[in-house]
C-alpha cells in the first residue's frame, strides 16, 4: 500500500473551506487503499506567538473537524506533531542539508515575513520548510496531498531527500505532491484573486467551517463579483464568479459547464443564493459533528494519543536508519 502523509496547522478556531477543498477532501478519499498519516502540526504553529490555552483548544478543534469531515482514526493515523520527537530530530538534519540561498527563495517565508518585516520574523519561520520536509520524509511517504500554496515546499522536500540519498545512501523515499488542480486554490470571497487564508486581513472573505450557517450564507451573498451579470467561468475577467463556481462544483459535483447552463439568463443574485445553499447544507452536519466531538475532549485526546504512538514507531525506524547512514554512534 502506498503511504500518504499530510499536515495542517492548528492556527485558527476553525478550518476554512480552502483547507477542506484543497487538502482535507483528498485526505478523506485517500484513506481507502492507502496507509495514511495525517498530522496536526502544532510545532509549526509556534512560528508566531501563541497563547498556550489557544494552542490546546485549536489542536482539539482541528482534530474534531478532521474527524467530522470523515478522517477515520481507525483507517488513518491521526496524530499531533509534538507527540513525535523525531520530527525535530530530522528537522535539524534537513536544516543541515538545505542551503541558505534555497531556503531564502521560499515564497511563503518572503510573504509572511514581509508583513512584519524580516527583522522581527522568528528564525523558525525561516527554517519552517525544513521541518515540513522532515514531517514528510520521516514517514517515507509516497504522496502528499496539499493545496497549490505548498508546491514549493514539496519541491524542496524532494530536493533535500535526493541530496541526502546521494550523499549518505538511500535513506528516504522521494515523495510526490498531490495537488488537485480544480480545487488547489480557493480564493478569498472579498479579494477573489488572493487565496482564502487563516491569516486574511478580513474574516468577511473566509468561509469558516465552524461558523453558523447564516454567517457563511451572508458572506457568500455579499461576496465581491464583477459588474457583469453572466455566470461564466473566466478566472481573469470574472475571478469572483469563477471562485464561487469552483466552490459550488467541488461540493455539489456539478461540472462548471452544467452550472453555466443552469444559470444562463439568471443573475448573480440567484447564483450566489444557490452557492450559499450548497455550502451551508454541506457544512451544517460537519459543524454539528465537530461540536459534538468537542464535548468529549478526553475521547479526542485518547484518539490522538493512539495515533501518536503509531506514528512514533514508524518515525523512530526512519531516524534509526538515517543516523546509522550518517555515521553517528546513536
Ligand atoms: P495550512 O495549515 O496552511 O493548510 C492546510 C492545507 O490546506 C491547503 N490550503 C488551501 N487549499 C486550497 N485553497 C486555499 N485557499 C488553501 N489554503 C490552505 C494547504 O495547501 C494545505 O494543504 N505548511 C503546511 C502544513 C504542513 C504540511 C506538512 C503539509 C506542515 N507539514 C507536511 C503537508 C505535509 C501549511 O501551513 O498548511
SS3 letters for the chain?
CEEEEEEECCCCCCCEHHHHHHHHHHHHHHCCCEEEEEEECCCHHHHCCCCHHHHHHHHHHHHHHHHHHCCCCCCCEEEEHHHCCHHHHHHHHHHHHCCHHHHHCCHHHHHHHHHHCHHHCCHHHHHHHHHHHHHHHCCCCCEEECCHHHHHHHHHHHHHHHHHHHHHCCCCCCCEEECCHHHCCCECCCCCCCECCCCCCCHHHCCECCCCHHHHHHHHHCCCCCCCCCCCCCCCCCHHHHHHHHHHHHHHCCCHHHHHHHCCCCCHHHHHHHHHHHHHHHHHHHHHHHHHHHCCHHHHHHHHHHHHHHHHHHHHHHHHHHHHHHCCCC
Supply angle C-alpha 161, 310, 23, rounded to 5: 60
Q: Among 40, 147, 187, 200, which is best to mutate for testing ligand 1, by the most ligand atoms less than 8 A from CB?
A: 147
**What pTM value is reported for the model?**
0.97
Give me the residue spans of the domains in the chain: 3-184+297-326, 203-290
- What does the pLDDT read at residue 253? 97
Question: d(Cα 84, Cα 315) in Å, to the nearest integer?
Answer: 8
The Cβ-side half-sphere exposure at 258, using a 13 Å CA radius, reads 8
Grid coordinates belonging to 22: 484543497
Please check whether residue 148 is in contact with residue 184, taking contact to mean a CB–CB distance below 8 angstroms.
yes
Question: d(Cα 246, Cα 70) in Å, to the nearest integer?
Answer: 21
For residue range 188-199, list pLDDT tens digits in order: 999 999 999 988
- What does the pLDDT read at residue 114? 87
- What does the pLDDT read at residue 115? 82
Task: Place 329 in a pLDDT band, splitting at 50, 70 and 90.
Answer: very high
Q: Is the pLDDT of residue 209 over 90?
A: yes
Q: Among 9, 15, 19, which is best to mutate for testing ligand 1, by the most ligand atoms less than 8 A from CB?
A: 19
- What does the pLDDT read at residue 152? 98
Task: Place 322 in a pLDDT band, splitting at 50, 70 and 90.
Answer: very high
Beta bridge pairs of residue 2: 34
- What does the pLDDT read at residue 67? 98
Pick the CATH number of 203-290 from 1.10.240.10, 3.40.50.150, 1.10.3720.10, 1.10.490.130: 1.10.240.10
Q: Is the pLDDT of residue 201 over 80?
A: no
What is the fold of 3-184+297-326?
A: Rossmann fold (3.40.50)
Q: Is the pLDDT of residue 184 over 80?
A: yes
For residue range 137-176, list pLDDT tens digits in order: 999 999 999 999 999 999 999 999 999 999 999 999 999 9
Between the CA of 269 and the centroid of ligand 1 the distance, in Å, is 32
- What does the pLDDT read at residue 120? 86
For residue range 3-59, list pLDDT tens digits in order: 999 999 999 999 999 999 999 999 999 999 999 999 999 999 999 999 999 999 999
- What does the pLDDT read at residue 35? 98
Q: Is 316 exposed, middle or buried (0-12, 13-18, 19+ CB in 10 A)?
A: middle
Instruction: Give, using CA atoms, the residue closest to atom 20 of ligand 1.
Output: 147
- What does the pLDDT read at residue 330? 80
Instruction: Give, using CA atoms, the residue closest to atom 19 of ligand 1.
Output: 147
> Phi/psi at 177 (nearest 5 deg)?
-75, 145
Catalytic residues: 112, 195, 198
Q: In the predicted model, what is the mean pLDDT of the chain?
A: 96
Question: d(Cα 124, Cα 109) in Å, to the nearest integer?
Answer: 10
Atom of ligand 1 nearest to the CA of 146: 22
Instruction: Give, using CA atoms, the residue closest to atom 28 of ligand 1.
Output: 7
For residue range 251-310, list pLDDT tens digits in order: 999 999 999 999 999 999 999 999 999 999 999 999 999 999 999 999 999 999 999 999
Between the CA of 249 and the centroid of ligand 1 the distance, in Å, is 21
Between the CA of 7 and the centroid of ligand 1 the distance, in Å, is 7
Q: Is the pLDDT of residue 228 over 80?
A: yes
Amino acid at each position: 500500500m502506498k503511504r500518504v502523509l499530510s499536515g495542517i496547522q492548528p492556527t485558527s478556531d476553525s478550518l476554512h473551506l480552502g483547507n477542506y477543498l484543497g487538502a482535507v477532501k483528498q485526505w478523506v478519499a485517500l484513506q481507502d487503499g492507502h496507509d495514511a498519516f495525517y498530522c496536526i502540526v502544532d510545532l509549526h504553529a509556534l512560528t508566531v506567538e501563541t497563547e498556550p490555552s489557544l494552542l490546546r483548544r485549536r489542536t482539539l478543534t482541528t482534530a474534531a473537524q478532521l474527524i467530522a469531515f470523515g478522517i477515520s482514526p481507525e483507517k488513518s493515523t491521526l496524530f499531533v506533531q509534538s507527540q513525535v520527537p523525531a520530527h525535530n530530530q530530522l528537522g535539524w538534519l534537513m536544516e543541515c542539508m538545505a542551503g541558505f540561498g534555497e531556503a531564502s527563495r521560499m515564497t511563503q517565508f518572503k510573504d509572511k515575513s514581509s508583513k512584519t518585516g524580516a527583522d522581527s520574523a522568528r528564525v523558525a519561520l525561516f527554517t519552517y520548510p525544513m521541518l515540513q520536509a522532515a514531517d514528510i520524509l520521516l514517514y517515507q511517504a509516497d504522496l502528499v496531498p496539499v493545496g497549490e500554496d505548498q508546491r514549493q515546499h514539496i519541491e524542496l522536500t524532494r530536493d533535500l531527500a535526493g541530496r541526502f540519498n546521494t550523499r549518505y545512501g538511500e535513506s528516504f523515499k522521494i515523495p510526490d505532491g498531490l495537488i488537485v488542480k480544480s480545487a488547489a486554490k480557493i480564493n478569498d470571497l472579498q479579494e477573489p484573486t488572493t487565496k482564502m487564508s487563516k491569516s486574511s486581513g478580513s474574516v468577511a472573505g473566509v468561509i469558516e467551517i465552524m461558523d453558523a450557517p447564516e454567517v457563511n450564507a451572508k458572506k457568500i451573498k455579499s461576496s465581491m463579483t464583477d459588474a457583469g451579470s453572466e455566470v461564466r467561468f473566466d478566472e481573469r475577467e470574472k475571478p469572483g464568479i469563477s471562485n464561487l463556481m469552483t466552490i459550488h462544483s467541488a461540493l455539489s459535483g456539478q461540472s462548471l459547464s452544467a452550472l453555466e447552463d443552469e444559470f444562463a439568463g439568471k443573475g448573480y443574485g440567484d447564483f450566489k443564493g444557490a452557492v450559499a445553499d450548497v455550502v451551508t447544507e454541506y457544512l451544517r452536519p460537519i459543524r454539528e459533528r465537530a461540536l459534538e466531538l468537542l464535548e468529549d475532549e478526553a475521547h479526542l485526546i485518547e484518539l490522538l494519543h493512539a495515533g501518536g504512538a503509531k506514528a512514533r514507531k514508524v518515525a523512530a525506524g526512519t531516524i534509526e536508519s538515517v543516523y546509522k547512514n550518517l555515521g553517528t554512534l546513536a
